[in-house]
C-alpha cells in the first residue's frame, strides 16, 4: 500500500496562501496552546491563574505552584513532547522506508520488543540508569523490527503481510512480557499500566538524558530528507540517481528504531502515535510547495505526534478526572485513536496483487480415505493421551490407577478433591481448543488466507472486553451471564469489522486489516477497564488476558459444548461451499453459491465458538491459526476432512499447553494462552518466511 493513497484536500485552501513557513509556525502555535492547557491539569488545586501569576511572585500559592510545576507538571509535559516527536518522526521514517502507510513502531513490533527488554531487566531486580535502559530498549526494538521487515520483505510485498507479520511478532513478544510479569509479579509491579504508555514522571532525568538524543536523531533524519525524497521515486530510479538504497534503508530504519526505543525508555510503549502523526501531515494539501518533502514532513510529523500525545492526555484527564492521569495510561487513548485511523486507511485500501494471494497451503495433494482415517485415529489417540496426562499432571503427580479408582468412586477424599479440581480444567482446555480450531478453519476459508484467525479479526479481544467488563461490574455473575457478555462483545466487534470492511462487497485483505485495528482497540479498552477497576492486581489482569483454566467448574463447559453442537453441524453442511469459497471470488458465484449468506453464516458460527471459548478459558492465541493449517497439511484442503482433524489438533494443543503450564514451574502456573502463543508464533513466522517472496 503506497503512501500515495492518502489523497489530500483539493488546492485552493487557506494553507496554500500560508506557505510552508506559515504552516510550520501555525503548527508550533497550536502546540504551544495545547501545552499551556496541559500544564493547567493535575491532581493538585493549582490552576491556570496560579501558574500565570507565578512569574510575578504575587500569588499566595507561588511556592506551592512552583513546586507542583517543576516536580510534576513540567516533567509530564516534556515527556509528552519528547515521546510525541520521537514516535511521529519514527513513524514517518518507517512509512517512507517501507513505502507503506501502515508502517509504524507498533505495526513493526518495535515497541513490543523494547518493552520486553525493559520488563526483563526489571524482573531481575535491576535498577538501571536511563542510558543503559535505553540501550536495552534499542536492542529489543531493533531485533523485533528486523524480524518483521525480513518476514514482510521490507513491507513492500503488501500491507496485509506487513500487518500480519507485525501482529504475530508483537503477540509473541507480549506473551513473553506477560510471562515475565506473572512470574516476577513483585519485581514488575506497575509495569502493566506502564506497558500501555504512561507520562507520569518523578523527575526530569529521563527527559534531560534522552531528549538531546531525540533532537540529534531528528536532525539526522532531516539531513537525509533529500535522499528520502529520491527513494520515494522507486529503488531503480534512486539507484540511477546515486542513492545507495540498501544502506539508506538500513540507517533510516536504525534511526527510526532508536527514536521508538527512546520513547519507550521515557514513557513505555505508547500505541499508534507513530501511525497517526505522519498520516495527519500527509493529509495536508500538496498544493503547498515543499510541504510533503521530507525536510518538512519529518518535523511536522514530530509536531503532529506532540499534538496527538498531549491532546490524548488532556482528553483523558478532562473525561475521567485528574486522578485518571496517574492511574490510566494515555497510551490507551492513543491506541483507540490510532485504531480508528488504521480502519480509515484500510477502508481506502485497494487490493493489489501479491496481498490478495495468500501463501499457498502445501497440502501435498489429495489424501486417500484410509490416510484420512489413520490421521484422525492418531490425533484422537494423542488427544486421549493428553487428557490422561492432564489428569495426572500438576503440582502433585498422580498414577493412572488413581484415575481409574476415582472414575469408579473408590478414591480417597484427598485424591477425589484433586481430580474434581482437575477434570473441569482439562475439559475446558479440550473444548475451547476444539472451538477455536473450528472457528479458525471457518475464518480462513472466508478470508481465503491461511494466516487469518479469529483473534486477527478482533473477535477474541471483543469477547475479552465483554467478559472483563462483566467481571468488573458484577464479580459474582454466573457462568451464563459471563458467556452472554463475552458473546455480546464478540458479536459487536464482529459486526463492526464486517460492516466496516464491506464496500460493495467483502475484501479479504480489508477484513484482516480492520480486524487487526479492532483487536488493538479492544485490547486497549480491556486494559482501561482493568486499570480503572483494580490497577495493582496485575496477576488477575494478565492471567485473564493470557488465557487460563484456573478455577474452572463443570458448568463453565456447557456453553462451549452447546456452541460446538450448534456450529459444527452448520459448517459440515456448508463444507462444499467453504471449499469453493477458499478458492477465489468468482468460482463460487459461477457455481451458484450464495456468497454473502455463506460468509455471514460461517463467520457468525466462528464468533459463537470464539466467544464461548473465551468465556471458558480467557484469551488464547494462535490455536485458530495453527490447528486448521496443520489439518490441511495432513489431510488436504477439503473442509469435510479439515474440520474434524482441526478440532482434534486444537483440543490437543490447548490441553498440552494447559498441562505444561500447570507442571513446568509448579506450584506456580503459566497461563495456557501464553504457552500456545509461544508455540504458535514460530509456526506463524515459518509460514510467513516460506511465502515471503
Q: For residue range 306-360, what is the model confidence (pLDDT) as tens digits?
A: 998 888 888 888 777 767 666 777 778 888 888 888 788 777 765 443 334 444 4
**37 domain-assigned:** yes
Q: Are residues 348 and 374 in the same domain?
A: no
**358 domain-assigned:** no
**469 domain-assigned:** yes
3-state secondary structure of 502: strand
The residues facing 502 across adjacent strands are 506
Q: Are residues 288 and 383 in the same domain?
A: no
User: Could you give the angle at which helices 14-39 and 74-98 cross, rounded to 10 degrees?
Assistant: 140
3-state helix, strand, coil in the chain (%, to 5): 75, 0, 25
Mean pLDDT of 277-286: 80
Whether the CB-CB separation of 113 and 173 falls below 8 Å is answered with yes
* Percent of the chain clearing pLDDT 90 (strictly above): 8
**What is the pLDDT, as a whole number, of residue 472?**
78
Total count of domains within the chain: 2
Q: Are residues 117 and 232 in the same domain?
A: yes
C-alpha distances out from residue 117 to 27, 123, 180, 542, 689, Å = 35, 10, 11, 18, 24
**360 domain-assigned:** no
Q: Pick from 559, 552, 607, 609: which is nearest to 427 by CA?
A: 552
Residue where one domain finishes, among candidates 353, 387, 410: 353
Whether the CB-CB separation of 34 and 26 falls below 8 Å is answered with no
pLDDT tens for 68-125 read 777 777 888 888 899 999 999 998 888 888 777 777 787 778 878 888 887 888 777 6
Q: Are residues 197 and 236 in the same domain?
A: yes
**What is the pLDDT, as a whole number, of residue 157?**
56
Q: Are residues 576 and 627 in the same domain?
A: yes
Helix boundaries (H) for 184-330: 191-194, 205-223, 225-231, 235-240, 245-267, 273-282, 294-320, 324-327
Mean pLDDT of 446-475: 77
Q: Pick from 606, 611, 616, 604: which is nearest to 654 by CA?
A: 616
One DSSP character per residue, 611-667 reads HHHHHHH----SHHHHHHHHHHHHH-S-HHHHHHHHHHHHHHHHHHHHHHHHHTTTT
**What is the pLDDT, as a whole number, of residue 14?**
59
Q: Pick from 489, 479, 482: which is nearest to 458 by CA?
A: 489
Among left, alpha and beta (phi > 0; psi -120 to 50; other), residue 153 is left
Q: Are residues 391 and 324 in the same domain?
A: no
Question: Please, which pLDDT band fits residue 652 given cuts at 50, 70 and 90?
Answer: very high
Domain with 12 in it: what CATH number?
1.10.3470.10
Residue where one domain finishes, among candidates 353, 385, 404: 353
pLDDT tens for 208-218 read 888 898 999 99
Q: The cell 471449499 sits on which residue?
A: 579
Q: Can you read off the three cell numbers belonging to residue 648? A: 482434534
3-state secondary structure of 506: strand
Q: Are residues 271 and 341 in the same domain?
A: yes
**363 domain-assigned:** no
Residue where one domain finishes, among candidates 329, 353, 377: 353
One DSSP character per residue, 313-342 reads HHHHHHHH-TTHHHHS-THHHHHHHHHHHH
**What is the pLDDT, as a whole number, of residue 447?**
75
pLDDT surpassing 80 at residue 182: no
Whether the CB-CB separation of 178 and 311 falls below 8 Å is answered with no
**364 domain-assigned:** no
pLDDT surpassing 80 at residue 669: no
Q: Are residues 494 and 616 in the same domain?
A: yes
**362 domain-assigned:** no
**537 domain-assigned:** yes
Whole-angstrom distance, CA of residue 316 vs CA of residue 108: 26
* Percent of the chain clearing pLDDT 70 (strictly above): 80
Q: Pick from 166, 171, 144: which is nearest to 155 by CA?
A: 166
Q: How many residues does the chain have?
A: 693
Mean pLDDT of 566-578: 86
User: Could you give the angle at which helices 413-447 and 400-407 cross, rounded to 10 degrees?
Assistant: 100
Whether the CB-CB separation of 119 and 277 falls below 8 Å is answered with no
Q: Are residues 324 and 434 in the same domain?
A: no
Q: Pick from 375, 408, 387: which is nearest to 635 by CA?
A: 375
Q: Can you read off the three cell numbers belonging to residue 365? A: 495433494
The residues facing 506 across adjacent strands are 502
The domain containing residue 628 runs over which residues?
A: 369-690
Q: Are residues 503 and 401 in the same domain?
A: yes
Q: Are residues 417 and 311 in the same domain?
A: no
Question: Please, which pLDDT band fits residue 178 given cuts at 50, 70 and 90?
Answer: confident
Q: Are residues 341 and 380 in the same domain?
A: no
Amino acid at each position: 500500500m503506497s503512501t500515495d493513497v492518502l489523497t489530500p484536500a483539493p488546492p485552493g485552501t487557506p494553507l496554500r496562501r500560508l506557505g510552508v513557513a506559515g504552516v510550520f509556525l501555525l503548527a508550533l502555535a497550536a502546540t504551544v496552546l495545547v501545552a499551556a492547557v496541559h500544564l493547567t491539569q493535575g491532581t493538585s488545586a493549582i490552576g491556570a491563574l496560579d501558574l500565570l501569576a507565578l512569574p510575578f511572585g504575587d500569588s499566595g500559592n507561588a511556592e506551592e505552584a512552583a513546586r507542583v510545576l517543576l516536580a510534576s507538571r513540567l516533567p509530564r509535559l516534556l515527556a509528552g513532547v519528547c515521546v510525541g516527536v520521537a514516535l511521529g518522526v519514527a513513524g514517518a521514517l518507517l512509512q517512507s522506508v517501507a513505502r507503506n502507510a501502515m508502517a509504524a513502531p507498533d505495526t513493526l513490533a518495535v515497541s513490543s520488543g523494547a518493552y520486553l527488554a525493559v520488563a526483563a531487566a526489571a524482573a531481575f531486580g535491576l535498577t538501571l540508569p536511563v542510558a543503559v535502559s535505553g540501550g536495552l530498549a534499542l536492542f529489543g526494538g531493533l531485533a523485533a523490527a528486523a524480524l518483521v521487515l525480513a518476514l514482510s520483505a521490507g513491507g513492500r510485498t503488501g500491507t496485509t503481510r506487513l500487518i500480519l507479520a507485525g501482529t504475530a511478532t508483537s503477540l509473541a513478544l507480549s506473551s513473553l512480557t506477560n510471562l515475565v510479569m506473572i512470574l516476577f509479579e513483585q519485581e514488575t509491579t506497575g509495569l502493566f499500566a506502564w506497558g500501555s504508555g504512561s507520562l507520569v514522571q518523578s523527575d526530569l532525568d529521563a527527559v534531560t538524558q534522552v531528549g538531546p538524543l531525540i533532537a540529534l536523531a531528528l536532525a539526522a533524519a532531516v539531513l537525509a530528507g533529500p535522499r528520502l525524497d529520491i527513494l520515494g521515486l522507486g529503488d531503480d530510479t534512486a539507484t540511477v540517481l546515486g542513492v545507495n538504497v540498501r544502506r539508506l534503508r538500513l540507517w533510516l530504519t536504525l534511526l527510526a528504531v532508536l527514536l521508538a526505543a527512546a520513547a519507550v525508555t521515557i514513557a513505555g510503549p505508547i500505541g499508534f502515535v507513530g501511525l497517526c502523526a505522519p498520516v495527519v501531515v500527509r493529509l495536508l494539501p500538496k498544493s503547498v510547495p515543499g510541504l510533503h518533502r521530507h525536510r518538512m514532513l519529518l518535523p511536522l510529523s514530530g509536531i503532529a505526534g506532540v499534538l496527538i500525545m498531549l491532546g490524548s492526555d488532556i482528553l483523558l484527564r478532562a473525561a475521567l478526572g485528574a486522578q485518571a492521569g496517574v492511574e490510566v495510561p494515555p497510551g490507551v487513548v492513543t491506541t483507540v485513536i490510532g485504531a480508528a485511523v488504521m480502519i480509515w486507511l484500510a477502508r481506502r485500501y485497494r487490493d493489489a496483487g501479491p496481498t490478495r494471494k495468500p501463501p499457498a497451503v502445501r497440502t501435498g495433494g489429495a489424501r486417500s480415505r484410509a490416510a484420512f482415517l489413520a490421521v484422525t485415529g492418531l490425533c484422537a489417540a494423542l488427544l486421549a493421551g493428553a487428557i490422561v496426562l492432564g489428569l495426572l499432571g500438576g503440582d502433585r503427580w498422580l498414577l493412572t490407577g488413581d484415575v481409574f479408582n476415582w472414575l469408579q468412586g473408590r478414591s480417597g477424599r484427598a485424591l477425589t478433591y484433586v481430580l474434581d479440581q482437575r477434570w473441569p480444567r482439562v475439559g475446558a482446555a479440550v473444548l475451547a481448543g476444539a472451538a477455536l480450531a473450528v472457528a479458525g478453519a471457518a475464518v480462513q476459508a472466508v478470508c481465503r488466507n491461511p494466516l487469518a484467525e479469529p483473534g486477527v479479526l478482533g473477535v477474541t479481544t471483543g469477547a475479552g472486553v465483554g467478559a472483563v467488563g462483566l467481571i468488573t461490574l458484577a464479580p459474582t455473575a454466573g457462568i451464563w451471564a459471563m458467556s452472554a457478555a463475552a458473546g455480546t462483545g464478540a458479536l459487536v466487534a464482529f459486526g463492526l469489522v464486517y460492516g466496516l470492511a464491506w464496500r460493495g462487497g467483502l475484501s479479504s485483505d480489508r477484513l484482516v486489516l480492520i480486524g487487526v485495528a479492532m483487536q488493538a482497540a479492544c485490547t486497549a479498552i480491556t486494559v482501561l477497564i482493568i486499570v480503572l477497576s483494580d490497577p495493582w492486581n496485575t496477576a488477575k489482569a494478565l492471567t485473564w488476558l493470557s488465557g487460563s483454566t484456573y478455577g474452572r467448574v463443570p458448568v463453565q463447559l456447557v456453553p462451549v459444548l452447546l456452541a460446538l453442537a450448534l456450529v459444527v453441524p452448520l459448517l459440515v453442511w456448508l463444507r462444499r461451499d467453504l471449499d469453493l469459497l477458499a478458492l477465489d471470488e468468482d468460482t463460487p458465484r459461477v457455481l451458484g453459491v450464495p456468497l454473502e449468506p455463506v460468509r455471514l453464516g460461517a463467520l457468525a458460527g466462528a464468533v459463537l465458538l470464539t466467544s464461548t471459548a473465551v468465556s471458558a478459558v480467557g484469551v488464547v492465541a494462535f490455536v485458530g491459526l495453527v490447528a486448521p493449517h496443520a489439518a490441511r497439511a495432513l489431510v488436504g484442503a477439503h473442509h469435510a476432512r479439515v474440520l474434524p482433524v482441526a478440532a482434534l489438533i486444537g483440543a490437543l494443543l490447548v490441553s498440552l499447553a494447559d498441562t505444561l503450564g500447570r507442571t513446568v514451574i509448579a506450584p506456580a502456573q503459566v497461563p495456557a494462552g501464553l504457552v500456545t502463543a509461544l508455540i504458535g508464533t514460530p509456526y506463524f513466522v515459518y509460514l510467513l518466511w516460506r511465502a515471503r517472496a
